[in-house]
Amino acid sequence: MLGFIVFVIKLIIGGAIAYILPSILNREVAKIDHLKISAIGILSTSIFSICIQISPESSYISAGAMILIGLFSYNLSNDMLDFEKVLFFSSVIIGLFIGFGYILQGIILSFLVYYIVNNESDLFLFFNKNINDDDE
């Protein structure tokens, strides 16, 4: 019973982060892509949480689940824009962390994704500046 309660808490936190992160960034994400991002976040959280509960000492099931989610998410993200792909794959990674039980790390990672997406122009200017300095 306690394992089920932990599973439900992980699903609630993972689903909330997967839904809120694209909503906060508000970059005109299409409704269908927002639904895909939220669904893959919940799906990855649930699959990894179940894998950990089934066999906590064995990593074979978790590795198989990561490959399955990776292939599934790659197929779903073919028609998305680059910005939406960043949100999509970060939602998968955040769901992975929360599913494994690293809830605090998942929350910290979501703040990191938020910072990177909001300050992407500053980051690209920094990288372009370093490339131009090497050419001179």
69-85 tens-digit pLDDT: 888 888 888 888 777 88
Q: Of 45-59, 77-91, 94-108, 121-135, which gets the smallest average pLDDT? A: 121-135
Which sign, positive or negative, has the C-alpha torsion 113, 116, 120, 125? negative
What is the model's pTM? Answer: 0.75
How does DSSP classify residue 1?
A: -
* Neighbouring C-beta atoms of residue 19, cutoff 10 Å: 18
**pLDDT-derived band at 123, boundaries 50, 70, 90:** low
> Between 130 and 6, whose confidence is greater?
6
Helix axes 120-135, 103-118, angle to 10 degrees: 70
Side chain identity, residue 89 = F
